[in-house]
Structure 1
Amino acid sequence: MSLKIRLARGGSKKRPYYHIVIADARSPRDGRFIETVGAWNPMLGKDSENRVTLNVERVKEWVAKGAQPTDRVLRFLAEAGIVERAARSNPEKAKPGKKAQERAAEKAQKAADAAAAAE
């Protein structure tokens, strides 16, 4: 049985609240779980101390038993200093597409031509 540390959604419509749970990987998102080890309230400000709450001892025990956190939960655990999260960097993602690069090149060429004509 592969275990996941993941989010189970609660709260009402347009007011999300998530429980951080230990669950079998095959069970549904809001379905059966083994234990609740924390909570995440995305409606609170990022600087709020109650935004993410964790039972650190229980999380460490489950990680030692082989439970794998999902990407979002891994961020929370890394912030709490429980596990290490590899830094991800994709510099290609921030670059504009081909059409935008062509438009920028055309705009730069027109500006250069206008500057040359002004002299």
Structure 2
Amino acid sequence: MLKIRFKRCGRKKQPLYRIVVMNDKTKRDGKVIEDLGFYNPLNKTFQINRERIVIRLDNGAQPTEVLKNLLRRSSLF
């Protein structure tokens, strides 16, 4: 099963998360199938590729709970 979830990047105490599509068995920082955007929790900014997220959701990928809330804020979910 494919999941749309966060992959942590950035430095210590300065997180930056990439929004990615991964297999649900893969580790958090493991192999990525597709990169869909990013989220910066320090200043609450995010950028997403709406077209690709809609395509992935239609094909059966499941977003995590935190990502569902982020997609609701962007009026996508």
Q: Place the TM-score, normalised by the shorter chain, in its bin.
A: over 0.9
Larger relative contact order (Cα-Cα within 8 Å, sequence gap ≥ 6)? 2
Which amino acid in structure 1 is aligned with residue 14 of structure 2?
R
Q: Deviations over 1:14-68 (max 9, x none)?
A: 0000000000000000110100101000111x4xxxx011000000000000000
Deviation at residue 10 of structure 1 after TM alignment? 0.3
CA distance in 2, matches of 1:43, 1:80: 18
Matched pairs, number: 77
Taking structure 1 as the reference length, what is the TM-score of the superposition?
A: 0.63
After the TM superposition, which residues 21-100 of structure 1 pair with which residues of structure 2 at under 5 Å, given as runs? 21-44=20-43, 46=44, 51-83=45-77
- Which residue identity is paired with 2:2? L
Q: In structure 2, what residue type is equivalent to 1:21?
A: V
Aligned residue for 1:29, secondary structure, equals coil
What amino acid maps onto 1:30 in structure 2?
Answer: D
The CA RMSD measured in Å over matched residues stands at 0.8
Which consecutive residues of structure 2, in runs of 5 or more, have no partner in the other structure?
Answer: none
Q: Percent identity?
A: 39
The structure having more radius of gyration, on CA atoms, is 1
Structure in which a larger fraction of residues adopt strand:
2
User: TM-score under structure 2 normalisation?
Assistant: 0.96
